[in-house]
A and B are shown apart, each in its own frame.
Chain A
Amino acid sequence: MLLLPALSIAFITGLLLVSVLWPDKELSTPCGVMKCSLAVGLGFGVSSVLFFVWLVIQGFRVGFLSFVILEIAVLCLAFLGWFRKRERHETFCHAPESAPKTKLILSITLFFYCALIVAVLSFILMALKNPHGGWDAWAIWNLKARFLFRGTDHWTDIFSKTIAHPDYPLLLPGFIARCWKYVGSETTLAPIAVSFLFTFATAGLLCASLSILRSRAQAFLAGLVLLAAAPFLIMHGVIQYADTPLSFFFLACVILFCLNDKSGTEYRHAFLVLAGMAAGCAAWTKNEGLLFLVSIVAVRFLVIVPTKGLKEYVLQMGRFMAGALPFLITVGYFKMRFALSNELIASQNFGAILGKISDPSRYLLILKAFAIVLSRIGFQFIGTIPVMAVYLLLVGVKVKRGDGPILMTCFATLLFMMAGYFFVYVITPEDLAWHLNTSLVRLMLQLWPTLLFALFMAAKTPEDMALSSRPDVS
């Protein structure tokens, strides 16, 4: 019973923080969905950081009540911030353009809701059969959560050499252990609920952002494709891997940069603070989050400096880092104090790494694996990427005025991330074939929602087609 309040406190804190930075006079449905989706990830991230701080300062010596007080104090601060700003009405997001409700658009809406129901039911049924999740859940994430919950006063045992991946950050294990502390027992409902919320908040983010930036039918179509790639997205949610929250944070960060680029209001830089928070949460979830942070900073340099100048870039990055900093300080402290060495680098010397870099057969093997995975992931019977390529060819691409930086940010970030993953495989100390076989699909999942967002940002919308097929009445 206490699981709901435990989740609600984190969610409401997230919602208040988002609302403080992004106040709105008239809250449209897409903006509401967007804020609620962001609140899930950012609220859980903030809560996880607080739990880690509580562990580090040994707050457990005075009992869990001290953590509850700390969390409620943060919630009250967020409430005060929202209360002070509630009068500052500013519509940050554009209301979706009114579009003709054709049969096609109504069908897309209907199909989306059907897919949503099917996805929710599939998730619940499979999660009940696999309450402890999959391999990485019980070997890494939920295992660490158990150490934090069961062995609070000796929680640093998770950095023992017998535990897999001691250098992985603690957003997910920390948040799950925190929920268990509230409940007072290790209910499997906690990791299931967290995974469920991240999975469907990702869909919420994708749909809401496309509804704001493109059109409602385009949003439903993208949501339909995301949810329909069921074995890929839903399965990874069911098995409670950290790649699902990570994909959420990647998508959130890219979308928030896009909203900043699109918004004409003077408060648009608030999106950058939120983007920084999302990137910080990504770094607190998995090591790939740090790669993402570096990638997005580099990509924005390439996008902003040539068009708006260095001053604008520095201004944007200042806001971005303001959001990311609390999380980066946490990650930095965690890495330096507890988990400095990374197994990819620590287990081999410079000569071994150089030998791998100069081995062309490794590049060929990785390229082949990338090609196979990218062509197969997605729908049950056919890869989604080839389908989407044909789809884009048939419907066409429409880059609206001012959308150039948005698309550049999306595609360049994806490219940087892919290049980063590629390089990690080149130097991996593990058996390369085994490493590719056990991790590449998960890495693609991390980028999957962002890729769909980019593709549907570029594609012509169903509304465009409806308007172009209308007879000219004037």
Chain B
Amino acid sequence: MSLRKAAVIALMVLSLSSASLFFKQTISAGGKSIWPNDAGVYEKRFEGLRKELPRRGTVGYVTDVRPEEFSTNPVHGARYYLTQYALSPVLVDNNCDHELIIGNFHRHPSESTAGPMQFTLLKDLGNGVVLLRNKEAR
């Protein structure tokens, strides 16, 4: 067998074994999503809240994560974007300068790093999702 033929065969074998390995990994992953924050889970999480919000407009966003944690752990950033994704076409602004504020909490209140709440609770939708009112918002 010539060296050229051997090179072609090696490329073929390498390619197919790589594809097969990927397929095996896909099968063995079972029903798991490849993302730590599955958008489908967030859809259900915010299902109740969507009905409470106006058809359009901008709402604020508060969570139990400090802003500096956003850059160190992408999961926290992902939660904000997933909230926006679930609630669109309502705009979710990542601050509290709005009359209506969405609270998205993942930690137990005792572990929460968020500061004391100055907002009125309008509705607790469970699973750490709350709708708040900021009376001081312009």
Chain A interfacial positions (CB closer than 8 Å to B): 104, 107-108, 111, 114-115, 118-119, 121-122, 125-126, 129-135, 138-139, 142-143, 146-147, 150-151, 154, 157, 160, 162-164, 221, 224-225, 227-231, 234-235, 238-239, 378-382, 387, 390-391, 394-396, 460, 462, 465, 469
For residue B112, CB closer than 8 A to chain A, the reply is: no
State the Cβ distance, B61 to closest chain A Cβ, in Å: 9
- Per-residue CB proximity of B1-43 to A under 8 Å, as 1/0? 0111111111110111111111100110101111100111001
A-B contact count (CB 8 A): 152
Interchain nearest-CB distance for A322 vs B (Å): 37
A2 to B35, CA, bound (A): 29
The residue on A at minimum CB distance from B31 is: A129
Q: Which residues of B contact A121 (CB under 8 A)?
A: 23, 26
Complex Cα spacing A396 to B43, Å: 54
A115-B8 contact in complex given A132-B39, A162-B92, C-beta closer than 8 Å: no
Task: Flag whether B105 is at the interface (Cβ < 8 A).
Answer: no
The 9 closest A-B pairs by CB, nearest first: A151-B89, A132-B39, A228-B15, A230-B22, A394-B7, A379-B18, A139-B81, A138-B85, A228-B19
**B78 at interface by CB-CB < 8 Å:** yes
Closest B residue, CB atoms, query A145:
B88
In the complex, the answer to whether B23 meets A228 with C-beta atoms within 8 Å is no
Q: Which residues of A contact B20 (CB under 8 A)?
A: 118
> Are A125 and B8 also in contact (CB < 8 A) when A151-B89, A380-B18, A382-B14 are?
no
Whether B11 lies near A129 (C-beta < 8 A) is no
Instruction: Across the interface, name the chain B residue whose C-beta is closest to A119.
Output: B19
CB distance from B102 to the nearest CB of A (A): 12
- A118, A164, A227: which contacts B81 (Cβ < 8 A)? A164
- Is there an interface contact between A154 and B89, defined as CB atoms closer than 8 Å? yes
Chain B residues whose C-beta falls within 8 Å of the C-beta of A111 in the assembled complex: 12, 15-16
Q: A118-B19, A154-B56, A465-B5 are in contact. Are A129 and B91 (CB under 8 A)?
A: no
Q: In the bound complex, do residue B33 and residue A129 qualify as a contact, i.e. CB atoms below 8 Å apart?
A: yes
Selected from A118, A139, A238, the residue in CB contact (under 8 A) with B85 is A139
Instruction: Pull 23 A–B residue pairs with CB atoms less than 8 Å apart, ordered by A.
Output: A104-B5, A104-B8, A104-B9, A108-B8, A121-B23, A135-B81, A143-B84, A143-B85, A163-B84, A221-B8, A224-B15, A228-B16, A239-B34, A380-B17, A380-B18, A380-B22, A391-B7, A394-B3, A394-B6, A395-B8, A465-B5, A465-B8, A469-B5
**Beta-carbon contact of B27 and A125 below 8 Å:** yes
Q: Given A111-B16, A135-B35, do A157 and B11 touch, yes or no (CB 8 Å)?
A: no
Q: Residues of B contacting A162 with CB < 8 Å? A: 58, 84, 91-94
Name 7 extra pairs, CB < 8 A, besides A129-B33, A163-B91. A130-B35, A138-B82, A224-B15, A230-B23, A380-B17, A465-B5, A469-B5
Q: Is the CB of B27 within 8 A of A465?
A: no
CB contact between B4 and one of A150, A235, A465 (< 8 Å): that residue:
A465
B85–A146 CB distance below 8 A:
yes
Closest A residue to B6 by beta carbon equals: A394
**Chain A residues with CB below 8 A from B38, complex form:** 130, 132
Q: Is the CB of A157 within 8 A of B15?
A: no
Cα of A164 to Cα of B9 in the assembled complex, Å = 46
Number of interface residues of B (CB under 8 A): 47
Contact assessment for A143 and B88 in the assembled complex, using a CB-CB cutoff below 8 Å: yes
A-side binding surface: helix, strand, loop or mixed? Answer: helix
**Across the interface, which residues of A come within 8 angstroms of B84, CB to CB?**
139, 143, 162-163
Q: Is the CB of A391 within 8 A of B88?
A: no
Chain B residues positioned under 8 Å from A229 (CB to CB) = 18
Restricting to B46-80, which residues have a CB under 8 Å from any CB of A? 55-56, 58, 78
Q: A126: which of B26, B39, B56, B78 is its contact (CB, 8 Å)? A: B26
| Contact assessment for A460 and B4 in the assembled complex, using a CB-CB cutoff below 8 Å | yes
- Contact assessment for B12 and A107 in the assembled complex, using a CB-CB cutoff below 8 Å: yes
Distance in angstroms from B132 CB to nearest chain A CB is 18
Cβ of B31: which chain A residues have Cβ within 8 Å of it?
A: 129
The distance in angstroms between the C-alpha atoms of A423 and B21, with both chains bound, is: 36
In the assembled complex, which residues on chain B have CB atoms less than 8 Å from the CB atom of A138? Answer: 39, 81-82, 85
B32 touches A108 (CB 8 A): no
Q: Interface centre among B15, B17, B91, by most A CB within 10 Å?
A: B15
Residues of B contacting A107 in the complex (Cβ-Cβ under 8 angstroms)? 9, 12
Shortest Cβ distance from A103 into chain B, in angstroms?
Answer: 10
**B81:A379 contact, CB within 8 angstroms:** no
A173 to chain B, nearest CB (A): 11
Contacts of B93 in A (CB 8 A): 162
Chain B's closest residue to A431 (CB) is B71
* Given known A-B contacts A129-B32, A129-B33, A162-B91, A395 and B19 have beta carbons under 8 A apart: no
Chain B residues within 8 Å of A125, by CB: 26-27
